[in-house]
Structure 1
Amino acid sequence: MAKVRPYYAEGGLSAAFYDVVTAADPTLAGDIETYAALAPPGGSVLELGVGSGRVAQGLAERGLSVTGVDIAPAMLVKAQARCAAMAPDAAARIELRRGDMTALDLKRTFDAVICPFYALAHTPAGAAWKNTFAVAARHLPPGGKAAFHLPNLDRMRNLPLVRPDLPVMDQALPDGGRLLLFVKERSFREPPGRLDQVIEYAVADANRRIVQRSPERLTFWMADPEPFAATAGLSLDGPPKTLGGAGDIWVFKKG
């Protein structure tokens, strides 16, 4: 197997095909509507881990202003390309910044702060979580809400074994090729809840001949978010909402 890269690293395929994978992922259905409901019409949203801008676009098209922050340059390139292809009025409501969500201070507040699609789970459940919740609280006014989409611990703990030679995704590409995803390694450790996987992205041509491969390490850390939120002055605003059976959206309120 080729050298294993971190997920979303420069030169890898996870960033290049992020939109293909998320578009085919049924566990994300309804997430944008949940985030949009946290801010008033025409309000402002800070997105921590904006990625390729999928959620930011959906919110901007609903009339919200979005400041999207990400630490991965490869993902911001995708987000910039997305904005360039959007309707100008919606694109004008999106601002993209490179930054670290564990140490961000934009010197302003937003109606809502969101951290979609397991972005927080990419960081260890310790100081990084504590700091990220503090960042969310720092950018909220009293009564403002923050939402974090986190993997469901029981679901991740009990993922089925899969054969490394059989793809878990086989998705058509616009050029007639295919995107194949293989789980080459998978392990779960607790405590803490930590899922480690090596996902190999493979691109096949129209004749199903593999022309590119990129094995990439994907790690999710899982823990109870409430103690981290409480330390930052945020309290749970109702039970977490299960999304697609794989994760939960936790909504917290400041003050």
Structure 2
Amino acid sequence: MAQARPYYADKSLSAAFYDVVTAADERLAGDIEAYAGLAAPGSSVLELGAGGGRVTFALAEQGYTVTGIEIAPAMLAQAQARLAQLPAELAARVELRRGDMTALDLKRTFDLVICPYFTLAHVPAGTAWRNTFATAARHLPPGGRAAFHLPLLEIMRMPGPPKEMVVFDRPLPGGGRLQLHVLERTFKAAIGRLDQVIEYVERDAAGAVLRRSPERLTFYLTDPEPLAATAGLVRDRDPIPLGGVGDIWVFRRV
């Protein structure tokens, strides 16, 4: 297997160029509106896996008060830097904290809990999922909703492209480019695990390689309903399709 650092680790290019990749990912179109539609304007939102703050700040701009939890220091630092640049009125609606969604207890409840951009799928589908659902339930009043964006099984089963294929190519400020290759892609159906090594390549304006970073990205998938039920969460509605690669599963605390 290829030697690779974890996704979103310190000094990883996945962290450095998170905003570039997510801004270009059309498969995320509509997720902000989907989450906003689950609670009334002005509601309080707990976001598990805030990343660089893409969803956090978008919801705050719509009037929600958002507490964003992120475990990766490199991603949290980006979100905090963005927070520092916000107008005071908007910044007052955002709180950012480092924390583990599988063991979080803020001793308060929120109107809505969200876990966007496949964040739940980053942890093994078993105890870690069960504990994350328990975290969501712990921070909700009876009747409160929790939403989890999960990948589709048929997408996880797809074979990877040739290593030499550029699967992502976007310009960078200053005239350079960011390119991505898939070096490895294997799916283990018995445990619902997709393991990939994505190589990030940063090039200058002349096309020369400035940095190259292979990074391991793993997703897990199982039926979420039985694990959610152990925390007292029941499905609120049919999953919301998003971008042809995933669904937003919405649960309600009983």
Q: Quick check: 1:2–1:214 contact (8 Å CA) kept in 2?
A: no
List 4+ stretches of structure 1 deviating above 6 A. none
Matched, 1:149 2:149: yes
- In structure 2, what is the Cα distance between the partners aligned to 1:63 and 1:138? 24
- 1:5 is matched with 5
- In structure 2, what is the Cα distance between the partners aligned to 1:220 and 1:41? 32
RMSD over aligned CA atoms reads 1.2
- 1:71 is matched with 71
How many angstroms does 1:192 deviate by?
1.7
Q: Secondary structure at the match of 1:128?
A: helix
- 1:118 is matched with 118
- In structure 2, what is the Cα distance between the partners aligned to 1:249 and 1:220? 16
- 2:170 is matched with 171
Q: Quick check: 2:102–2:135 contact (8 Å CA) kept in 1?
A: yes
- In structure 1, what is the Cα distance between the partners aligned to 2:169 and 2:100? 33
- 1:86 is matched with 86
- In structure 1, what is the Cα distance between the partners aligned to 2:219 and 2:91? 31
- In structure 2, what is the Cα distance between the partners aligned to 1:21 and 1:41? 29
- 2:53 is matched with 53
Q: In structure 2, what residue type is equivalent to 1:33?
A: E
- In structure 1, what is the Cα distance between the partners aligned to 2:28 and 2:159? 20
How many angstroms does 1:88 deviate by?
2.5
- 2:95 is matched with 95
TM norm structure 2: 0.98
- In structure 2, what is the Cα distance between the partners aligned to 1:195 and 1:62? 35
How many angstroms does 1:87 deviate by?
2.9
Unaligned runs of 5+ in 2: none
- 1:161 is matched with 160
- 1:216 is matched with 215
How many angstroms does 1:2 deviate by?
8.2
- In structure 2, what is the Cα distance between the partners aligned to 1:223 and 1:94? 32
- 2:191 is matched with 192
- In structure 1, what is the Cα distance between the partners aligned to 2:2 and 2:29? 34
- In structure 2, what is the Cα distance between the partners aligned to 1:212 and 1:82? 24
Q: Quick check: 2:203–2:211 contact (8 Å CA) kept in 1?
A: yes
- 2:225 is matched with 226
- In structure 2, what is the Cα distance between the partners aligned to 1:172 and 1:12? 19
Q: Secondary structure at the match of 2:129?
A: helix
TM norm structure 1: 0.97
Q: Quick check: 2:49–2:68 contact (8 Å CA) kept in 1?
A: yes
Q: Quick check: 2:160–2:182 contact (8 Å CA) kept in 1?
A: no
- In structure 2, what is the Cα distance between the partners aligned to 1:186 and 1:86? 39
User: How many residues align structurally?
Assistant: 254
How many angstroms does 1:3 deviate by?
4.1
Q: Secondary structure at the match of 1:51?
A: coil
Q: Secondary structure at the match of 1:214?
A: strand
Unaligned runs of 5+ in 1: none
Question: Bigger shift: 14-23 or 80-89?
Answer: 80-89
- In structure 2, what is the Cα distance between the partners aligned to 1:214 and 1:105? 35
- In structure 2, what is the Cα distance between the partners aligned to 1:28 and 1:113? 18
How many angstroms does 1:83 deviate by?
1.4
Deviations, residues 69-89 of structure 1 (Å, cap 9, x unaligned): 011000001101121233332
Matched, 1:140 2:147: no
Deviations, residues 16-55 of structure 1 (Å, cap 9, x unaligned): 1001000000110000111111222211000000000000
- In structure 2, what is the Cα distance between the partners aligned to 1:219 and 1:111? 30
- In structure 2, what is the Cα distance between the partners aligned to 1:160 and 1:141? 42
- In structure 1, what is the Cα distance between the partners aligned to 2:186 and 2:159? 11
